[in-house]
Each structure stands twice: as C-alpha cells, then as structure tokens.
Structure 1
Amino acid sequence: MTADFFWNAKRPPTRGPKPALTLDRIADAAIAIADAEGLAAVSMQRVAADLGYTKMSLYRYLPGKTELVAAMLERSIDEPPAIPDGPWREQLTHWAAALLAAYTGHAWALEATSGRRPVGPNEIAWMEAALRCLPPGLDGAERFDLVATVAGHVRMIAGQAGGAEADLTAAITAVVRDHAGEYPAVVAAIGEIGERGGGDNAFAFGLERILDGLEALLDRRRSQRV
C-alpha cells in the first residue's frame, strides 16, 4: 500500500497530446459507480470498462483497488472549507458541520475510511484545518485525540443520515406502545419529545457536550496554574 500516487501525480507533457486519463477522471468514474451501486461494485476492471480503457491502463496511475478507494475518498471530500475567524468553539463547529456534509454526500464514504488506507493531501488538509481551530492548552497527543473525538462524533451521525434517527424513534414507539410497563424510561423520553419537540438533534447536542468538556478541562488547568 502506498500514497506516492497522491503526491507524485503524473503531470501532462508540455508537448504533444495530453494523456486521456488522469487520476481525477479515474476517481470520478469510480465515485459514479459507488454512488449508484455501492462500494462493493467498484473494481479496477469495472472502472476501466466504464472509461473505455483496459484494466492495465489504470495501473499507470495507481497500484490497485485500495489506492483507488483512497483516491475516491480524497476526491469526494475535496479540500476543507475556509474556517472563518471567530471563537474556537464556533470554528470547530463550522469544521465539524462541513465534515458531516462531506460524509453524507456519498453513502459509501464512511466505509471507505475504515481500516488502513493511503492518506492524501485533502484528508491531511482537513486535519490541519481542525488543529488550527483548537485553543491553546493542549499537548500534541491531546490535540490529535480531540480532533479524533469530534471526527468520530461526525462519523456516527453520518451513519444515521437519511432519517435513521427518526426511523428508530418511530420503530421504538411502535414496540413500546404495547409494553410501556417494561420500558418506562423510554416511554417517558418519547412522550417528552412528542410534547416539547427537540428530537433528531444528536449532532449539535453531542458536539456541544464534547466542546463543553474541552472548555471545562482548559478552565480547570488555568485555575490550577493560578
């Protein structure tokens, strides 16, 4: 497994015809397949066929399917958006919302981030953008851990995209209707949602609690130094 193909992309010759294939074009064809049929449908052979080339033509640009999927992810998440100036909480919230949008734009993206994979410049740029949002008072390991925690929350919510949370609530409601005595806490929570609203807010609620925890940690450390 290598990431060299990200960093040493073939440059078009200055003279003569430009090559018909590029890494971006290959990734776009693979993304189209995954969007329509799922990640399992993507293969070097299938992508080459859809592009009208032989499978061996693709190997000039990347070594195999693992790298192909990494190129798809790199292409789909694109570069991170510019983070507006402001308090660190607002900046991290902006970053997390943008990452959520990037993941939910392609149903296969979460699967593509599982396991070992080559990492490209866009993915590292997202990490760079998040680290720049963080307030002082954390060491290097803690900064990485905090970004991993926020990204993990985003991934969890992205996995529920498409109304999954509302669907689960509806399914639970249908079940406990006839078994209310066995699940009083569930019934009480669902009843309050019905009366007051506020359901399907796990992204904002969870992110705020993570940031509350970080703020409490930093406040405690500042008070200990006084």
Structure 2
Amino acid sequence: MEHTGDRPPRPKPRHTLEGITDAAIAIADAEGLEAVTMQRVAERIGSTKMGLYRYLPGRSDLDAAMLDRALGTPPAIAGPDWRRALTIWAEMMFARVLERPWAVELAQRPHVPGPTELTWYEAGLAPTAELPLTAGERLDVLALLSGHAQSLVRQQAQSAIPEDDLAARIAPLLTANADRYPRTAAAFAEAGREDSRNRAFDFGVQRILAGVAALVSERAPG
C-alpha cells in the first residue's frame, strides 16, 4: 500500500472567489459592466485568464457572484401583512440595485442564481405562502416587483429625478405644439403643479400588489 503520510501539502490557491469578485466589481464600479472581461479581471489580480477558470467555470458564474454581492442579504420581514412585507422586499431590492445599476443587466442575463439571490427568492416567497396563488403566480409576483424596480433603476442611473428632467427637456416642444399634443401638455403641467412626478416606483408597487390583492379576494372562500 502506498504511503501518503510524507506527501508534501498541496499549495494553497493563490486567489479566492471573493477576491476575484471584488476585482470584477471594482472594474464595473469604475468603468461600467462592459469593461468587465475575464482578461481584465485576471490582470487586476495578477493572474492569467485561464487561471481564473480554476475558480470559476465560466463568465456566467462570475456574473452570478457579482450579482450576489450587489444584492446583499435580503431584508428580514416578519408579520402577517403580506402586502407590507412585499413592499419592503421591493423597496430594498430597488435601493440595493440603485447603488450598483450594472446589476440590472446581470439580473437579466441568463445565469444560475447564486446563494444570495436564492435567499431573495426565499424572503419574497415567504409572505405569499398562505395566499390562494399557484406556485407560478407567486414567482410571477416577485418577477413583476423586481422587474418594476430594475426598470426604474435604469432611469435613475441617469437622473435622480427622471420625470422632472424629461418635463424640462420637452417643455419647449409642448409649449410650441400644445394644440397638437394637448393631453400630453396638460398631463405634464398638472403633474408639476401636483408635485406628483418621480413617484413611479411607489405607484407601481402599490398597483401590482393591489392587483394581487384583488385576485386573492376573488379566490377567498365565500
């Protein structure tokens, strides 16, 4: 029998998945997601592109690791009010992704969800566990909420007040062509007077959950 007790210990890996993810995120934060390539990440940590594949099977795995870091731990939600719980879930996702808008593109790329992303599924599905919804409908609720949050992150990545900025840009056009676009001109003017612009996130979440509540009510016994 071969004696293995005197074998020298295997060398420790030079890098870690956490360090590789840190390098990729640093590039994305500084230059945008399009600048993140396996070659750039390898250069940043002093490795080779092929060397990264010892730690990551492929680019989609790096994407999942970056997305996990951007999302962070989901909120701990307690209590019987499922609408409040899902509102908090959506608000937290919106806030996390807004900090790193490149996460929107990662979320929409084909990938296998990482462990942190899966905990977001768990946290979001928990409040709906007792509702008269199918499993597919419960997942669709999360898809609607996360999709709404991510679409608005794309807007706010360019401007913190996108509706005000849009109103300012098109004001001269609407003023000069009010007879051609009367409803549009009136809507923008009235929204400004009401101070009801830049509230699309809250409005969308409320309307999504109101629709779910209507469906739950339809299916309630009696």
Q: Specify if TM > 0.5.
A: yes
- Asked if 1:170 is matched to 2:168, the reply is yes
List aligned pairs for 1:2-21, cutoff 5 A.
19-21=13-15
- Residue in structure 2 matched with residue 159 of structure 1 by the alignment: 154
- 1:48 alignment partner, one of 33, 42, 45: 42
Paired residue type of 1:196? E
Is the 1:30–1:47 contact (alpha carbons within 8 Å) kept by the matching residues of 2? yes
Look up the match of 1:7.
none
Shift of 1:85: 2.7
- In structure 2, the partner of 1:9 is none
Given residue 99 of structure 1, which amino acid in structure 2 is its aligned partner? M
Match 2:192 to one of 188, 191, 194: 194
- Residue by residue over 1:111-167, the C-alpha shift from the partner in whole angstroms, topping out at 9 and shown as x without a partner, is 112231121111111011101122511111111111111111111111111333332
Q: Residues of 1 paired with 2:48 and 2:198: CA distance?
A: 47
Instruction: Using the TM superposition, give the Cα deviation of residue 16 of structure 1 relative to its aligned residue in structure 2, in angstroms.
Output: 8.3
Q: What residue number does 1:31 align with?
A: 25
CA drift at 1:60: 0.9
After superposition, the C-alpha distances for 1:6-51 in whole angstroms (9 at most, x for unaligned) are xxxxxxxxx8875441111101110110111111111111111111
Structure 1 distance, partners of 2:14, 2:76, is 32
SS of 2:143's equivalent in the other structure is helix
- List aligned pairs for 1:1-226, cutoff 5 A: 19-134=13-128, 135-161=130-156, 162-163=159-160, 164-222=162-220, 225-226=221-222
RMSD: 1.8
User: SS of the counterpart of 1:182?
Assistant: coil
Which shifted more, 95-104 or 132-141?
132-141
Larger Rg: 2
Contact 2:68–2:114 under 8 Å retained in 1: yes
**Kindly, what percent of the aligned residue pairs are identical?**
45
Q: Could you give the per-residue CA deviations for residues 87-133 of structure 1, whole angstroms, max 9, x where no partner exists?
A: 11111010000100121111211111223112111111101110112
Deviations 1:191-213 (A, max 9, x none): 21222211100000111011111
Query: CA–CA distance in 1 between the matches of 2:215 and 2:62?
Result: 41
Question: Which position in structure 1 is the counterpart of 2:3?
Answer: none
Deviation >6 Å, runs of 4+: none
| Gapped regions of structure 1 (runs ≥ 5) | 1-14
The AA in structure 2 aligned to 1:172 is: I
* 2: CA distance, partners of 1:77 / 1:142: 23
8 Å Cα contact 1:35-1:107 kept in structure 2? no
What is the distance in 1 between the residues matched to 2:40 and 2:192?
Answer: 48
How far apart are the structure 2 equivalents of 1:203 and 1:160?
A: 11
Q: Structure 2 stretches of 5 or more lacking a match?
A: 1-8
Q: TM-score, normalised by structure 2?
A: 0.88
Q: In the aligned structure 2, how far is the partner of 1:201 from the partner of 1:32?
A: 31
Q: Distance in 2 between matches of 1:24 and 1:165?
A: 38
